[in-house]
Amino acid sequence: MHRKKTFIPFLSLLLILGLTSSLIAKVNPAKKPIKVLMVGGGSSHDFDKWYKGTDVATLEKDGLAEVTYTDDPSTILQYLDDTEVLFLANNQPIPDEATRKAIFAFADAGKGIILAHPALWYNWNDWPEYNKTMVSGGSRGHNAYGNFNVDLTEKHPVTKGMPTNFSLDDELYYYKEDPAGPGIEILALASNAETDPFPSIFIVKNPNARIVGIALGHDAAAHELEAYQTLIRNAVKWAAK
């Protein structure tokens, strides 16, 4: 009898603990980090410092994302199956045909893609489909590094929490739409006294993928700016849906 008496309260306790923890799990489900593959590497930028360093830390803060960074395009294929958002920040070539096809299949499957600063350039003469379909255009030039204004043009989850206008030192990319591409929805324009506005933050109207174009990001002045950090976190969240 003595044994039974202690056994029953013990079972009840287990039951209560079990119910409580399952209830907590339902009320506050632990959010899994978004799996991001970030590709950097190429010319003119300190990819290790600003993308592999600062941007990865920005995205991983508070468990928002789990980022795999690579500057070796031959490794993209091995990671892509396990990726929710592909963050391209490279201006080095992605020469492998199978990898190029896999990136397009990733888009066709409705996944998320972020195209950051160097990846908005017309980088590859032998891959025109990249600019036409993924970027819906691209840049062939930019202002000399210096100060310009960024003005948000509409409300969107990608720009939520950002100031409606701000200025920074960066390269003002001359992004131009390709009329043969899927088109873009402009979320912000960049301009200064000498330069007419160019799209700075935009959504590419790809029929399947969620693609965000971010023209900002040459160096510290962008990557350490709170508005930029809010932007890339929003963009990854929105693209992962």
Binding site for Zn ion (CB under 5 A): 171, 218
Contact criterion met (CB below 8 Å) for 178 and 138: yes
Q: Which is nearer to Zn ion, 84 or 171 (CB)?
A: 171
Q: CA neighbours within 13 Å on the CB side: how many for 49?
A: 11
Report in angstroms how near the CB of residue 45 gets to Zn ion at its nearest: 5
Q: Which is nearer to Zn ion, 55 or 171 (CB)?
A: 171
Could you list the beta-strand ranges (E) of 127-226.
137-142, 146-152, 165-170, 173-177, 184-191, 198-204, 210-214
Report in angstroms how near the CB of residue 200 gets to Zn ion at its nearest: 13
Q: Which is nearer to Zn ion, 83 or 139 (CB)?
A: 139
Report in angstroms how near the CB of residue 49 gets to Zn ion at its nearest: 13
Which amino acid makes up residue 10? F
Report in angstroms how near the CB of residue 221 gets to Zn ion at its nearest: 11
Taking CA atoms, 155 is separated from 7, 113, 191, 214, 234, in Å, by: 60, 20, 19, 16, 13
Q: What is the CB neighbour count within 10 angstroms for residue 200?
A: 25
Report in angstroms how near the CB of residue 217 gets to Zn ion at its nearest: 7
Burial class (CB in 10 A: 0-12, 13-18, 19+), 56: buried
Taking CB atoms, the residue at the shortest distance from Zn ion is 218
Q: Which is nearer to Zn ion, 69 or 121 (CB)?
A: 121
Q: Which is nearer to Zn ion, 120 or 187 (CB)?
A: 120
